[in-house]
Structure 1
Amino acid sequence: MHFLSRRLVMPSDLNYANALFGGRVLEWIDGEAATYAICQLETNSLVTKHIGAINFESPAMQGDVVEFGLATKKVGRTSITVTCLVRNKATKATICLADDIVFVQLDPTTRQPVAHGKTLEGLVEQTQIELSTLNL
């Protein structure tokens, strides 16, 4: 899993207990996972079909930097399944894990699912090539 995206928890992201609001982090997860899937499948014609179990483990507070780790779990004919781990950047404590986030590629005109032609093995190789160019 690679952690390449981060967000600062701001006052507008907090719930009544002054911790990161669960709905806000779910919004962030959907956006981060969608961006990841778009890059993996090299198309922006995707929709979120399903988000599986989400397990909240620890809070994030105002001023915390949270980071998003994403990995491809499975590749179907028209879909990609992603896992997203959200953790505190400083402490590495897991904030939540969103598993089985499924995106489906759609034809832009008909809005029907279409095959993307990608494989899990090909995406692993593509990711390794992209990461090697980042000079991390």
Structure 2
Amino acid sequence: MSGSLTILLPELLSVELPSALSGHGTDPEVRRAFLSGLPWRDPARIGSDCRELVVDLLGTAFRLGTVEAFDALMASAVVPHHPLGAVLGEHLRDLAMPDRDAVWSQYLHRAYGRKGPLDRLLDWTEKHPKRVTALDRRSRTRPAG
């Protein structure tokens, strides 16, 4: 499955690949292609259809314990003002604590060492501790809301 198709189709024709492939949109290969293209997409071109598909796939990822949906959202979450940046946090907060901890720790265990978004984020935080401290301070001083 072409990764460029998962980027160009929604940007040129305003339709997401899984939606365009009626009857085949739930195919694991189609889902993987869709998710792998998310970090490369123009954030301004990600709409509600894309978000709904991501939310559905994230629910499937929770049940199946796959890393692709988590990886796509981790890669998107570090892009400032990315429309999918908060989706992972929202879903984790909606889970009961034991379920959240089980799901998140399984992802961390499977993703660590694969040289994916989790490892890149950890490497960046290790190389830029002053920036991490500043970001942490900023997030603590934001009004709740």
User: Under TM normalisation by the shorter chain, which class is it?
Assistant: 0.3 to 0.5
Q: Greater strand percent: which structure?
A: 1
Higher relative contact order (CA 8 A, sep 6+): 1
* TM superposition score normalised by structure 1: 0.33
